[in-house]
Amino acid sequence: MNKRVILALATAGLLSAPAFASGDKTAALAATCNNCHGTNGVSVGPSMPSIGGLPEAYLRTVMMQWKSGERYSATMSRLIKGYSDQQIADLAKYFAAKPWVPQPQPVDAKILAQGKAASERCTTCHGDTGSQPDDPAETPQIHGQWAKYMELEMMKYRDNAVAMPHRRMRGNTQRLKEEDVAAVAQYYAAQQK
């Protein structure tokens, strides 16, 4: 909808009431998600990802990919089938509007250095600390995301038998040495900004 149409509808009183109703409905839907992902999508970890403040387009894309079967998740694939495309779009918008809250995760200095070295092949897309993606719409920030969750996701990208559609993430994680997978996850997890 362009601005002029929105203005015309708002002036005619056609937009405000349904807009509020749909907001309430989305908050009710999101309460189910918060049972696992935490209040406002801020997870208490360690293998449960935070989702509050992730990019709207990214959130919508992954949910639609689970729904179509293009992407695999042991938990989310089944769960998301119960939501309409519109509800998925509303939930993506709802969680994207929440603040991203990096979770402090102390890391051993040696592992931190190992992870930082391994992150060289990640920085072009994710930025030095994971907070400045080159494409902020489609690439999630990963600073302060839970380390164990990121390690498990990388294991999925590394395994060609698991449906993970992003070709370049698959390639980049597959070129990591096995022992660097957990280290690089912990490096990004430890970054607070």
Binding site for ligand HEC (CB under 6 A): 32-33, 35-37, 48-49, 51, 54, 59, 62, 73-76, 79, 91, 121-122, 124-126, 138-140, 142, 145, 150, 153-154, 164, 166, 168-169, 172-173, 176, 184
* Residue whose CB is less far from ligand HEC, 9 or 93: 93
How far apart CA 18 and CA 179 sit, in angstroms, is 52
74: exposed, middle or buried (Cβ count in 10 Å: 0-12, 13-18, 19+): exposed
How far apart CA 8 and CA 97 sit, in angstroms, is 26
* Residue whose CB is less far from ligand HEC, 107 or 122: 122
Minimum CB distance to ligand HEC, residue 130 (Å): 8
* Residue whose CB is less far from ligand HEC, 9 or 98: 98
Minimum CB distance to ligand HEC, residue 17 (Å): 25
Minimum CB distance to ligand HEC, residue 19 (Å): 20
Asked if the bond preceding 46 is cis, omega within 30° of 0, the reply is yes
* Residue whose CB is less far from ligand HEC, 74 or 109: 74
177: exposed, middle or buried (Cβ count in 10 Å: 0-12, 13-18, 19+): exposed
Distance of CA 189 to the CA centre of its chain: 14
* Residue whose CB is less far from ligand HEC, 9 or 79: 79
* Residue whose CB is less far from ligand HEC, 36 or 89: 36
* C-alpha Rg value of the chain to the nearest Å: 18
Distance of CA 33 to the CA centre of its chain: 13
Q: Which two tokens stand for residue 165?
A: 């559609």
Length of the chain, please?
193
What is the C-alpha end-to-end distance of the chain, expressed in Å?
35
Minimum CB distance to ligand HEC, residue 46 (Å): 11
Minimum CB distance to ligand HEC, residue 31 (Å): 9
Minimum CB distance to ligand HEC, residue 161 (Å): 15
Q: Which two tokens stand for residue 61?
A: 């894309």
